[in-house]
Structure 1
Amino acid sequence: MTKLQQETSRCAGCGVTLQMETPSKPGYVPEAALQKEPVICQRCFRIKNYNEAASVAIDQDDFLRLLGGIAATDSLVVHIVDLFDFEGSIIPGLQRFVGNNPVLLVVNKIDLLPRGINTNRLRNWVQKQAKAQGIKLLDIILCSAKRGTGFEYVIESLAKHRGDRDVYVVGATNVGKSTLINRLIRDYSDLERELTTSRYPGTTLDAVHIPLDDGHDIIDTPGIVYQHRMTEIVPRNVLQAVLPEKEIKPVVYQLNEQQTLFIGALARFDFVEGDRQSFTFYVAGGLNLHRTKLERADELFAEHKGVLLAPPSAEQLEEMPAWTRHRLTVKRGSEVDVFISGLGWIHVNSQVGALIDVHVPKGIRVMLRDALI
């Protein structure tokens, strides 16, 4: 197959345009696979041969066009969000794209929270946050797709609510969507009845229709890329330090005003004004926390970024957006989190109030929210 043919050819499995440059993008096919007939992308190959879906991502505009097509169907929508990055991974305005189709919210990675958390309180917190986004929910499922915790409730809820409908699975990148899809394939799908020469029906962009044993499909949509998440802008070799793999160990600091705490070289937390109080940091264990005086913060960063203050390295920082400041006012008697999308959050239980500055790469979402824990 010539390069021109490859560029204009489509996958026989999902219909996406084939490409050979980027394995993490839709339509990737290794050069050796171009000699086979029919030609299918690597993602479809893994579904067909291993009952396993691979994670791919598309930009926001393409994703919203794909999402908008769901409103014209009669489907159940499964929206997977990352509890560690809830506000960063939930799809804003989801309801207007999916129309009247019901939404099942699957909240993944609950295994990262400290043990003993009240699940009813957690569910209520999720319900409130989803309502603020205008999402009408059939149900909320708390689970860990990686560990299998709570997955039986996902299956039960699908069986209860799906009826005679297809299932669209939507979510941002790095929320565990492929892990959950793979569990659904093993539990639901009958791939033996599918012809390898046929295209999955009704595909748009790189949405993959995975046949179920009752004639309907699980439609695996690509992960949406949100540039307001720290996980989307850090170098790939830094991701393992940013994304926690096991239960987060909260770290408590008693700070006086005019003190600063660096989270590696990815963020800076300034306690600008207020009485001495505690701040609890919920971030991945692979990130170094370093305290200093606010008056020395700029100098310290300039001299030690990428070494004492790491990750990332000084060279990698040059490739990332410059820092920008977010000023937050915590009201007296409030219990809130300072949320940094993709990086974690800082719990503030302030009886006296506090003035806080957060410095992060430009574009990263920073906000105050009701306390999760």
Structure 2
Amino acid sequence: MTKNRCAGCGIALQTSEKDRPGFVPEGALAREPVICQRCFRIKNYNDASSVAIDQDDFLRLLGGIASTSSLVVHIVDLFDFEGSLISGLQRFVGSNPVLLVVNKIDLLPRVTNWNRLRNWVQKQARANGLKVADVVLCSARRNIGFDRVVETIAELRGDRDVYVVGATNVGKSTLVNRLIADYSDLHRELTVSRYPGTTLDAVHIPLEDGRSIIDTPGIVYKSRLSEVIPRESLQAVLPEKPLKPMTYQLNAKQTLFFGGLARFDFVEGDHQSFTAYVSQGLPIHRTKLEKADELYEAHKGEMLSPPSREGLESVPPWTRHTLRIQPNSDADVFVSGLGWIRANGKSGALVDVYAPKGVKVLLREAIV
């Protein structure tokens, strides 16, 4: 490796952005060999810190998996399931099995039917074209279900390598750290290699049986609200405690504002209730539809926040999504990175959802 590339993973080294691939402190450039901060932390602390790359680079990274003999562990965020599921993953993995690890189950109410949830996950995965060998529900934060994750990986991998893939902020580094602690002999020299034709830091962590855990960078999806809002707004949007559902009895022509990040208009339908599953840190304001535009212009960035007035400048303008909820359907209105609103009525409804341009908004079968 040349001095401008990591001797561990081959990534081009840089000293300016800690959260991007290839970062190395300037003071470490004099070491021999030079390795990036991520490889250093894996080798010395058993710690696989998260880095992120854009979608095109990530897809090129996935391109070589089909030709390997591997178990692919895909980690998704239950709170943002559709937003964190890697679209098109199936065409890259070939005949290799996929284990779907669903993180952050601690955010759902304790009365959740876990068997029903597991069936829901399998159904949603199939609907997105992903064939999974198994589904494991867990919580990295609460250390719930992680033993089962490790057991299932052992059952499915045989003598294969293990590729760990996922979007940013789904708990991938926590799982990789656990696998390193359980399986890897890091007294050996850290041996890593690059995929042909890339300079991405897919880190190969040696296992005792001669195979490797391949830790891939997190993919950034701009269709997730958490990726397009100011960093200072994330604390209000990303829940850390179990969700407390908020139910609103609405007549047609009423509106709910979720801070200044999204707007839900109940346009047509009988009087009915809607239940919001969002972070407790995100204020919800109710008003009449006829006053909604005026209210937003007068109070955005202040009463209707986050984001702040200054933060609004960096958020894309809203796009309207018109959704028709069919009668007698158990449906969620899902906004990627924000949460979801369950429609409880049986008579159907017409709703408009406003969210920053590019953020994924859809109707789905109710999760709970």
Matched, 1:201 2:196: no
- Structure 2: stretches of 5+ with no match in the other structure: none
Question: Is 1:223 equivalent to 2:218 in the alignment?
Answer: yes
Counterpart of 1:274 in structure 2 is: 269
Q: Cα offset for 1:202? A: 4.5
Could you say what secondary structure the match of 1:192 adopts? coil
- Which residue is 1:264 aligned to? 259
Tell me the equivalent position of 2:163. Answer: 168
CA contact (8 A) 1:333 1:349 kept: no
Match of 1:42 in 2: 37
Q: 2:205 aligns with which of 210, 227, 235?
A: 210
Moved more, 222-231 or 237-246: 237-246
Q: Would you say how many aligned residue pairs link Structure 1 and Structure 2? A: 364
What is aligned with 2:350?
Answer: 355
Kept in 1, the 8 Å contact 2:229–2:314? The answer is no
Q: Aligned AA for 1:216?
A: R
CA contact (8 A) 2:80 2:336 kept: yes
State the one-letter code of the partner of 2:52. Answer: A
Runs of 5+ unmatched residues, structure 1: none
Instruction: Report if the CA contact (8 A) 2:71-2:163 is conserved.
Output: yes
1:186 aligns with 2:178: no
The corresponding residue for 2:26 is 31
Q: Contact 1:331–1:350 at 8 Å: present in 2 too?
A: no
Regions of 4+ moved over 3 Å: 201-204
In structure 2, give the amino acid aligned to 1:370: E
Residues of 2 paired with 1:134 and 1:168: CA distance? 19
Measured in 2, the distance between the counterparts of 1:265 and 1:16 equals 39
CA distance in 2, matches of 1:217, 1:27: 21
Corresponding residue of 1:129 = 124
Equivalent residues of 1:323, 1:360 under 8 A apart = yes
- 1:298 match: 293
* Alignment partner, residue 9 of structure 2: 14
Of residues 146, 150, 159, the one that matches 2:154 is 159
Pick one of 115, 121, 127 that aligns with 1:120.
Answer: 115
Identify the residue that residue 56 of structure 2 maps to in structure 1: 61
C-alpha displacement at 1:201, in angstroms?
3.4
Q: Is 1:241–2:236 an aligned residue pair?
A: yes
Letter in 1 for 2:40: F
Specify the code of the residue in structure 2 equivalent to 1:38. P
Q: Please report how far the alpha carbon of residue 350 of structure 1 lies from its aligned counterpart in structure 2 after TM superposition.
A: 2.1
- Structure 1 position 35, deviation (Å): 1.6
Look up the equivalent residue of 1:367 and give its one-letter code: L
TM-score normalised per structure 1: 0.96
Shift of 1:133: 1.4
CA RMSD of aligned residues (A): 1.1
Match of 2:324 in 1: 329
Which residue identity lines up with residue 72 of structure 2 in the other structure?
Answer: V
Distance in 2 (alpha carbons) for counterparts of 1:319 and 1:160: 46
- The answer to whether the 8 Å contact 2:328/2:347 transfers is yes
Structure 1 residue aligned with 2:311: 316
In structure 2, distance between residues paired with 1:313 and 1:141: 38
- Indicate if the aligned counterparts of 2:259 and 2:282 stay in contact, CA closer than 8 A: yes
Quote the Cα distance in structure 1 between the aligned partners of 2:126 and 2:162: 22
Normalised by the length of structure 2, the TM-score is 0.97
